[in-house]
Amino acid sequence: MMEQTFSYIVVLITTNSPEEAEKIGKALVREKLAACANIVKEIRSFFFWQGQLEDEREALIIVRTKASLFPSLVETVKALHSYTVPEIIALPILTGSESYLRWIHDVTSSPIVP
Protein backbone atom coordinates (compact mmCIF):
# COMPACT_ATOMS: atom_id res chain seq x y z
CA MET A 1 0.00 0.00 0.00
CA MET A 2 1.18 3.49 -0.73
CA GLU A 3 1.92 5.94 2.02
CA GLN A 4 -0.99 8.30 1.68
CA THR A 5 0.06 11.87 1.11
CA PHE A 6 -3.49 12.83 0.20
CA SER A 7 -6.76 12.10 1.95
CA TYR A 8 -9.42 10.37 -0.14
CA ILE A 9 -13.17 10.08 0.43
CA VAL A 10 -16.29 8.38 -0.90
CA VAL A 11 -19.23 10.79 -1.18
CA LEU A 12 -22.86 9.65 -1.19
CA ILE A 13 -25.45 11.89 -2.84
CA THR A 14 -29.14 11.03 -3.24
CA THR A 15 -31.24 12.61 -6.01
CA ASN A 16 -34.87 12.55 -7.11
CA SER A 17 -34.16 10.67 -10.36
CA PRO A 18 -31.47 8.87 -12.38
CA GLU A 19 -31.49 11.83 -14.79
CA GLU A 20 -30.65 14.28 -12.02
CA ALA A 21 -27.97 11.89 -10.76
CA GLU A 22 -26.46 11.72 -14.24
CA LYS A 23 -26.42 15.51 -14.58
CA ILE A 24 -24.69 15.95 -11.21
CA GLY A 25 -22.30 13.01 -11.63
CA LYS A 26 -21.14 14.14 -15.06
CA ALA A 27 -20.64 17.72 -13.83
CA LEU A 28 -18.49 16.57 -10.90
CA VAL A 29 -16.26 14.45 -13.15
CA ARG A 30 -16.13 17.09 -15.90
CA GLU A 31 -15.09 19.77 -13.39
CA LYS A 32 -12.41 17.44 -11.93
CA LEU A 33 -14.13 17.48 -8.53
CA ALA A 34 -14.47 13.69 -8.71
CA ALA A 35 -12.44 10.92 -10.28
CA CYS A 36 -15.49 8.73 -10.70
CA ALA A 37 -19.25 8.84 -10.14
CA ASN A 38 -21.39 5.69 -10.10
CA ILE A 39 -25.17 5.84 -10.24
CA VAL A 40 -27.46 3.36 -8.55
CA LYS A 41 -30.65 4.04 -10.50
CA GLU A 42 -33.22 3.15 -7.91
CA ILE A 43 -33.08 3.06 -4.16
CA ARG A 44 -35.98 3.31 -1.75
CA SER A 45 -35.57 5.88 1.00
CA PHE A 46 -37.54 6.35 4.21
CA PHE A 47 -37.04 9.62 6.10
CA PHE A 48 -38.85 12.34 7.97
CA TRP A 49 -39.30 15.63 6.11
CA GLN A 50 -41.34 18.50 7.52
CA GLY A 51 -42.91 16.22 10.13
CA GLN A 52 -44.04 13.56 7.66
CA LEU A 53 -42.64 10.08 7.13
CA GLU A 54 -41.62 9.94 3.49
CA ASP A 55 -41.26 6.82 1.31
CA GLU A 56 -39.45 7.86 -1.87
CA ARG A 57 -37.73 6.27 -4.85
CA GLU A 58 -34.43 8.02 -5.40
CA ALA A 59 -31.14 7.54 -7.24
CA LEU A 60 -27.78 7.36 -5.49
CA ILE A 61 -24.49 8.79 -6.72
CA ILE A 62 -21.32 7.23 -5.29
CA VAL A 63 -18.30 9.49 -5.83
CA ARG A 64 -14.57 9.04 -5.22
CA THR A 65 -12.46 12.14 -4.72
CA LYS A 66 -9.92 13.94 -2.56
CA ALA A 67 -11.08 15.31 0.79
CA SER A 68 -9.64 18.70 -0.13
CA LEU A 69 -12.18 18.99 -2.96
CA PHE A 70 -15.23 18.35 -0.75
CA PRO A 71 -16.18 22.02 -0.17
CA SER A 72 -16.17 22.74 -3.92
CA LEU A 73 -18.02 19.49 -4.61
CA VAL A 74 -20.76 20.46 -2.12
CA GLU A 75 -21.10 23.89 -3.75
CA THR A 76 -21.48 22.34 -7.21
CA VAL A 77 -23.99 19.72 -6.06
CA LYS A 78 -26.14 22.32 -4.29
CA ALA A 79 -26.17 24.50 -7.42
CA LEU A 80 -27.43 21.60 -9.57
CA HIS A 81 -29.64 19.73 -7.10
CA SER A 82 -33.43 20.02 -6.89
CA TYR A 83 -33.66 19.28 -3.14
CA THR A 84 -33.68 22.04 -0.52
CA VAL A 85 -31.44 19.90 1.72
CA PRO A 86 -29.63 17.34 -0.45
CA GLU A 87 -27.79 14.44 1.14
CA ILE A 88 -24.08 15.00 0.54
CA ILE A 89 -22.03 12.96 2.99
CA ALA A 90 -18.40 11.87 2.89
CA LEU A 91 -16.81 8.73 4.24
CA PRO A 92 -13.03 8.36 4.54
CA ILE A 93 -11.17 5.87 2.40
CA LEU A 94 -8.88 4.32 4.98
CA THR A 95 -6.73 2.49 2.48
CA GLY A 96 -6.79 1.26 -1.09
CA SER A 97 -4.63 -0.03 -3.86
CA GLU A 98 -1.73 2.28 -4.63
CA SER A 99 -2.59 2.46 -8.32
CA TYR A 100 -6.27 3.32 -7.70
CA LEU A 101 -5.52 6.04 -5.15
CA ARG A 102 -2.87 7.49 -7.49
CA TRP A 103 -5.47 7.50 -10.27
CA ILE A 104 -7.93 9.44 -8.08
CA HIS A 105 -5.19 11.96 -7.35
CA ASP A 106 -4.07 12.29 -10.97
CA VAL A 107 -7.57 12.59 -12.46
CA THR A 108 -8.73 15.25 -10.00
CA SER A 109 -5.47 17.20 -10.40
CA SER A 110 -5.40 17.49 -14.18
CA PRO A 111 -6.64 20.52 -16.11
CA ILE A 112 -10.32 20.66 -17.05
CA VAL A 113 -11.04 19.24 -20.49
CA PRO A 114 -14.15 20.52 -22.31
Q: Tally the domains of the chain.
A: 1
Is residue 3 assigned to a domain? no
Is residue 31 assigned to a domain? yes
**Residue 54 sits in a domain of what CATH number?**
3.30.70.120
- The C-alpha atoms of residue 106 and residue 64 are separated, in whole angstroms, by 12
- The C-alpha atoms of residue 106 and residue 114 are separated, in whole angstroms, by 17
pLDDT digits (tens, 9 = 90+) for 31-52: 999 999 999 999 999 999 999 9
pLDDT digits (tens, 9 = 90+) for 66-94: 999 999 999 999 999 999 999 999 999 99
pLDDT interval class at 60 (50, 70, 90):
very high
